[in-house]
Each structure stands twice: as C-alpha cells, then as structure tokens.
C-alpha cells in the first residue's frame, strides 16, 4: 500500500492510537505532555504476542499508523507486516539497528531518529570513560572507600592521555566531536569509517586491525549493522596490544564481548570503558571485579537538557506526521 493511500487526512482533534515499544526513557514525560493527543498502546508492558495484545485492547491493527520506540525492543518484520497502515516509526535513539529498515523500505514507512544533539554529550562521555580507564579513577575510588587514602601495593599507576594515538572507529557526528575534544590533550587522531572522509586531515585506515596496530586507544562510535557486528574481534584486540584501551559508546555488539572479557582478564589489553553491552541489559559477570574496566549503563546521552530536547523532538515528529507533513528519514552516519 502506497504512503499516500495509507495516510488519510486525519482530524487532528481525534485521539490517535500510538503503539509504544521499549519504552523510551522519555516516555513518562512524553505521555504526561501528550495524553490528550494519543491513546498509548503500551506493548512493552505486555508479555502477549503483539496481535493478542491488540486484540485484548480492542484495537484493529489496521488503525495503527505510528510507533514510538527505543532500542530496548525490536520493531521486527513480523511487527511491520501485522500493521498494514503503519506509516512512521519514531525512535528516541541515534541508532536504528532495532528497526527492520529493509522491511520499512518495502512498505514505504518513514523511520525518524530524534536523538537531539546527543553527539556532543556522547563524545563527552567517551572522553570521560577514556580518562577514567587510563587514570584508573574508579578503581582508585573503590580503593579509598575500602582501604583509605594510603597507596596500596596492588593499585597500579595511571597513564597520561597526552600524546596518545587515538583510533576512532566511525568518524560521523560523534566521532568528530570525540576528535575535537581529544586534540587539545595532544592526542594524535586517526580513524576508520566506511569510506575516507573528504577534507579530513586525520590518517585513514581502511582496515580496523591496521588502525588498532597503530593506536594506543580505540574509540568506537559507529552504528551497528551486519558489516560492523563483532568488528572488534580478538585479532583487533591483540593488534591493539597490552598497553591499549578500548572505549565503546556505539553499540555493544561492535565488540566480540566474550573475547573482550578474555583479553581483559588475561591482560591482553590495558582496559576498557564501556557504555554499551552486547546483550543489554545483561552485563558479563566477569567484568564486575575487574579494576581495568569502567562500566556505564548506556547513559552517554542521558543529560537532563538532552532528555527534554528528545521529548520535544519526538512530539514534533509525530505532530508533523499527523498534520500530513511527513518528516524525512534521519539515520546515523559513520
């Protein structure tokens, strides 16, 4: 069914059904601000298959034209095929790997990413994680809380950030912001992306393993897809070496997590700062006692200012859709 055929002119005063997956962290605020506009169908709160959930709610699947979602719940082929009138999917994330984009394309469904200006926030977190890993700030904090301020013989020294060779994997919006922040520290920036970027002076490596071999640090900022899944494998980690560190603010499955755990436990790499994990919300238990790992709960973009902005952008995208002014697709570059 073509987009124009599916999207009939709608009386904006009519309360529209809005299917919610995830839910997005913005949802409680979004719901409170927009309760008069939408009937919220909270699929995330039910263990039933979607078609049974909709039946229970007395909702005809063909009445649903919009989804609001987050990466914590998949918008799969089965979901899309169940909803013949679906026209737009709004996700609160920069990444879209939780949405079947191929199926959306087949059905003419718009996918709108409304992360706000998260690139700068995520870049700040990446640099924070890197400094923490190199200087062992979190490990030192745990030591002081347990043993007091005396230097423990098992607490190793930190490492300077100045002069480090930093390989950025994915020189998109986030990657560029990371580079901008690290340059004043005297870091030497190089990168890997799908293609070499025009007008970028940083050295480009077409192979990640070669980038790792010439870097002290890898910072992962690229989107997750079939080509980038487990891009950072054991070979790459060994090329990075015993003095190398990894920071991941992209997606957990960019790294072969089992091999990462192994390399960290066997001191094959210096350390890792991780804001994302391969099987969220699960985190490998082996990481918890390690002092060479800094863990964050996928919180790189969670600032109060950014939260408000994403909520407003999601509301605007849906308002535009139901006003027949369809937003254009926005995907993460890398």
Report yes or no on whether pTM surpasses 0.85: no
Q: Which CATH architecture has domain 118-295?
A: 3-Layer(aba) Sandwich (3.40)
- Rounded-to-integer distance, Cα 267 and Cα 240, Å: 12
Tokens linked to 188: 């030497």
- Band of pLDDT at residue 324, cut at 50, 70 and 90: confident
pLDDT of residue 303: 84
pLDDT of residue 307: 84
- Rounded-to-integer distance, Cα 17 and Cα 212, Å: 49
| 210 within 8 A of 236, measured Cβ to Cβ | no
pLDDT of residue 90: 97
In this predicted structure, the answer to whether residue 143 has a pLDDT above a threshold of 80 is: yes
User: pLDDT exceeding 90 applies to what percent of the chain?
Assistant: 77
Beta bridge partners of 53: none
pLDDT of residue 11: 43
Q: What one-character-per-residue DSSP string does 16-40 give?
A: EEEEE-S--TTHHHHHHHHTTTEEE
DSSP 3-state of 150:
coil
Residues serving a catalytic function are 251, 280, 298
In this predicted structure, the answer to whether residue 167 has a pLDDT above a threshold of 60 is: yes
Domain residue ranges of the chain, discontinuous segments joined by +? 3-115+305-322, 118-295
Tokens linked to 278: 């391969």
Tokens linked to 185: 């520290």
- Say if 3-115+305-322 and 118-295 have the same CATH topology: yes
Beta bridge partners of 293: 272
| Structure-model confidence comparison of residues 141 and 83, the more confident one | 83
Model confidence pLDDT, tens digit, residues 305-320: 888 889 999 999 999 9
DSSP 3-state of 3:
helix
> What count of other Cβ atoms lies within 10 Å of the Cβ of residue 57?
14
Beta bridge partners of 247: 219, 273
Sheet containing strand 188-192, edge to edge, reads: 188-192, 165-169, 217-220, 245-248, 271-274, 293-295
- Measured over the CA atoms of residue 248, residue 252, residue 255 and residue 256, the dihedral's sign is positive
| 325 within 8 A of 319, measured Cβ to Cβ | no
- Band of pLDDT at residue 325, cut at 50, 70 and 90: low
CATH class of the region 3-115+305-322: alpha beta
- Rounded-to-integer distance, Cα 126 and Cα 301, Å: 11
Give the mean pLDDT of 280-284. 93
**Which whole-number Å values give the CA distances from 68 to 117, 166, 298, in the listed order?**
19, 36, 19
């Amino acid at each position: 069914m073509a987009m124009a055929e599916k999207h009939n002119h709608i009386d904006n005063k009519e309360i529209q059904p809005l299917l919610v997956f995830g839910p997005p962290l913005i949802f409680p605020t979004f719901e409170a601000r927009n309760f008069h506009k939408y009937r919220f169908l909270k699929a995330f709160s039910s263990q039933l298959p979607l078609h049974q959930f909709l039946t229970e709610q007395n909702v005809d699947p063909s009445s649903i034209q919009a989804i609001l979602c987050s990466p914590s719940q998949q918008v799969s082929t089965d979901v899309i095929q169940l909803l013949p009138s679906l026209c737009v999917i709004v996700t609160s994330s920069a990444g879209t790997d939780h949405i079947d984009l191929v199926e959306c394309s087949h059905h003419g469904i718009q996918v709108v990413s409304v992360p706000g200006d998260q690139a700068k926030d995520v870049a700040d977190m990446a640099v924070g994680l890197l400094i923490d890993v190199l200087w062992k700030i979190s490990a030192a904090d745990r030591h002081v809380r347990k043993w007091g301020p005396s230097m423990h013989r098992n607490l190793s020294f930190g490492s300077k950030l100045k002069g480090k060779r930093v390989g950025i994997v994915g020189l998109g919006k986030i990657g560029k912001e990371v580079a901008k922040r690290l340059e004043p520290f005297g870091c030497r920036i190089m990168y890997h992306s799908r293609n070499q970027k025009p007008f970028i002076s940083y050295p480009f490596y077409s192979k990640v393993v070669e980038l790792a071999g010439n870097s002290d640090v890898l910072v992962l900022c690229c989107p997750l897809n079939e080509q980038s899944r487990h891009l950072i494998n054991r070979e790459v980690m060994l090329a990075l070496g015993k003095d190398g560190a990894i920071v991941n603010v992209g997606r957990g499955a960019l790294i072969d997590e089992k091999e990462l755990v192994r390399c960290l436990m066997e001191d094959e790499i210096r350390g890792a700062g991780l804001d994302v994990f391969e099987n969220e919300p699960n985190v490998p238990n082996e990481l918890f006692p390690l002092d060479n790992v800094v863990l964050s709960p996928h919180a790189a973009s969670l600032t109060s200012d950014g939260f408000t902005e994403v909520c407003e952008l999601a509301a605007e995208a849906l308002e535009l859709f139901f006003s027949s002014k369809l937003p254009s697709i926005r995907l993460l570059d890398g």
